[in-house]
Amino acid sequence: MIGENIKHIVETLPAGVRLVAVSKFNPNESIMEAYNAGQRLFGESHAQELVPKAEALPKDIKWHFIGHLQTNKVKYIAPYVSCIESVDSIRLLKEIDKQAAKCGRTIDCLLQFHVAQEETKFGFSMQECCEMLASEEYKLLQHINIVGVMGMASISDDPAQIASEFTQVKNNFNALKSEFFADNPSFCEISMGMTHDYPIAISCGATLIRVGSGIFGERMYIKH
Ligand SMILES: *Cc1c(COP(=O)(O)O)cnc(C)c1O
């Protein structure tokens, strides 16, 4: 079932779009079903869940951290994550840099933008983001590598609304690319789209989609 869901989604992805299988709240056995179907890229949104999974599961899995990240949790995930998709402040980025240095690594990061109507979602405004990228503090960071942008659309039944928000993420990517990353080919990722809106995200330029319930079924929420 999980393996079939993975294969079905991956088959339909255009070239240049990769699937992040969002395994939060799902047990290791379910992740192994996806792994055995060939999936190697997984997304988790809680530090206390990512760490034991990363320790127990095969080492060729790449873990993306996709949830809101508190600075005091960075140290736990720094040895394990291949990418932190949810960077939304210079304070967080500086902590990631510090913890990555301690592990002797460089951590890939995406800049998260707030484009949805819900106030509860996290992310930079374009102005805040540009101020950060122009700052001296940012230029000093040696152990982070910004590889693109991430965004979440509003929870909405209106495809035009969702498409306009994803287009905003894509436009932000283009603007940052030309202003700050023109000679940096590793700045190439646009992470957007979840189970219910990933086809729209792909049509708006996504390179990474983050699908959870469409693979693993509806989640049983556990409290952290
Ligand atoms: C949970 C989550 C997803 C996956 O959501 P589904 O609707 O289950 O596909 C994607 N992105 C983020 C940031 C999430 O927290």
* Residue tagged 């035009």 (tokens): 160
**pTM of the full structure:** 0.96
Angle of helix 126-134 relative to helix 159-180, nearest 10 degrees, comes to 20
How far does residue 59's CA lie from ligand 1's centre (Å)? 23
Please work out whether the CB of residue 202 comes within 6 Å of at least one atom of ligand 1. Answer: no
Give me the tens of pLDDT residue by residue for the chain, a chain 224 residues long.
Answer: 999 999 999 999 999 999 999 999 999 999 999 999 999 999 999 999 999 999 999 999 999 999 999 999 999 999 999 999 999 999 999 999 999 999 999 999 999 999 999 887 799 999 999 999 999 999 999 999 999 999 999 999 999 999 999 999 999 999 999 999 999 999 999 999 999 999 999 999 999 999 999 999 986 665 55
Q: Which tokens is 41 given?
A: 């890229």
Please work out whether the CB of residue 122 comes within 6 Å of at least one atom of ligand 1. Answer: no
Taking the C-alpha atoms of residue 17 and residue 30, their distance in angstroms, rounded to an integer, is 23
Residues contacting residue 193 through CB under 8 Å, at least 6 positions apart: 166, 199, 200, 201, 202, 206, 209, 210, 211
SS3 145: strand
CA of 194, closest atom in ligand 1 = 9
**Model confidence pLDDT, tens digit, residues 17-48:** 999 999 999 999 999 999 999 999 999 999 99
The sign of the CA dihedral 25, 85, 121, 217 is negative
pLDDT of residue 4: 97
Taking the C-alpha atoms of residue 71 and residue 107, their distance in angstroms, rounded to an integer, is 15
How far does residue 140's CA lie from ligand 1's centre (Å)? 32
CA of 219, closest atom in ligand 1 = 8
Q: How many other C-beta atoms lie within 10 A of the C-beta of residue 25?
A: 19
Please work out whether the CB of residue 26 comes within 6 Å of at least one atom of ligand 1. Answer: no
> What is the residue with the minimal CA distance to atom 15 of ligand 1?
67
DSSP for 174-207 reads: HHHHHHH-TT-TT--EEE---TTTHHHHHHTT-S
Residues contacting residue 93 through CB under 8 Å, at least 6 positions apart: 87, 109, 132, 138, 141, 144
How far does residue 145's CA lie from ligand 1's centre (Å)? 23
Q: Are 154 and 171 in contact (CB under 8 A)?
A: no
CA of 211, closest atom in ligand 1 = 9
pLDDT of residue 121: 79
CA of 22, closest atom in ligand 1 = 4
Q: Are 45 and 25 in contact (CB under 8 A)?
A: no
Please work out whether the CB of residue 99 comes within 6 Å of at least one atom of ligand 1. Answer: no
How far does residue 23's CA lie from ligand 1's centre (Å)? 9
- Tell me the CA distances in angstroms from 75 to 21, 25, 104, 150, 175, one per residue in order: 23, 21, 13, 22, 32
